Amino acid sequence: DIVLTQSPASLAVSLGQRATISCRASQSVSTSSYSYMHWYQQKPGQPPKLLIKYASNLESGVPARFSGSGSGTDFTLNIHPVEEEDTATYYCQHSWEIPPTFGSGTKLEIK
């Protein structure tokens, strides 16, 4: 199975500043055309919500302050400027092979 390692496990960011979350895959999940990495936001008591697909494509309805980048084994989710409502846990997920796996999550707190 492909292991996705997220860092940091938690972070606190001041309102209006930038939050950067990293996801490293144990093997490449990219081709020359696509990167099979996706990002989710999960707030307490709610199911995950898709934010970004194919590493950098914003899901419809997701605010433009969310952005994704990366390829190969290293991927990043950026949130700028952070807002109070961004308090949540964020997960990466690959779809390179079966089974699709998730990162362990990054808990974001807004100061």
User: Residue 82, exposed/middle/buried by CB under 10 A (0-12, 13-18, 19+)?
Assistant: buried
Rounded to a whole number of angstroms, the minimum distance from the CB of residue 2 to other proteins is 12
Total site size for other proteins, rule CB under 8 A:
23
Tokens of 66: 């969310």
Tell me whether the omega of the peptide bond preceding residue 44 falls within 30 degrees of 0, making it cis: no
Shortest Cβ 5–other proteins spacing (Å): 12
Report the site for other proteins in 90-109 (rule: CB under 8 A). 91, 93, 95, 98-105
41 sits near other proteins (criterion: CB under 8 A): no
Q: How far is the CB of 100 from other proteins (least distance, A)?
A: 5
Would you count residue 61 as binding other proteins (CB under 8 A)?
no
Reduced 3-state DSSP string for 63-83 = CCCEEEEEECCEEEEEECCCC
Residue 87 interacting with other proteins (CB under 8 A): no
